């Protein structure tokens, strides 16, 4: 194991703007360059938003 730092935020869904703001807000407040990821059960609206990756949690657990 190394000293690599990664940040994860987990949410059932981030379909509503209110939820998206809340889930992204905590990661946006961290002012460093380590990877930041939101894990969700959503199957769409995935990708990279302002440097924060959004990944389906099942895909993440399966290493996809």
Position 53 in a domain: yes
Residue 53 has pLDDT above 70, yes or no: yes
Residue 8 has pLDDT above 80, yes or no: yes
Average pLDDT of the residues in 44-54: 92
Laid out side by side, the sheet with 36-40 consists of 7-11, 36-40, 52-56, 47-49
| pTM (whole model) above 0.85 | yes
CB count in 10 Å sphere of residue 51: 10
Residue 1 has pLDDT above 60, yes or no: no
Position 1 in a domain: no
- Residue-wise pLDDT for 14-25, tens only, equals 999 999 999 999
Q: Name the residue range of residue 38's domain.
A: 7-61
Q: What is the Rg, in whole angstroms, of the alpha carbon atoms belonging to the chain?
A: 12
Position 2 in a domain: no
- Structural domain total, the chain: 1
Position 30 in a domain: yes
Position 56 in a domain: yes
Beta bridge partners of 10: 39
Residue with tokens 């990821």: 37
Percentage of the residues of the chain whose pLDDT score is greater than 70 = 97
CB 46 within 8 A of CB 55: yes
């Amino acid at each position: 194991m190394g000293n690599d730092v990664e940040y994860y935020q987990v949410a059932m869904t981030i379909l509503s703007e209110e939820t998206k703001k809340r889930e992204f807000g905590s990661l946006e407040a961290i002012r460093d360059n380590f990877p930041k990821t939101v894990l969700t059960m959503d199957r769409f609206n995935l990708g990279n938003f302002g440097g924060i990756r959004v990944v389906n949690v099942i895909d993440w657990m399966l290493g996809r």
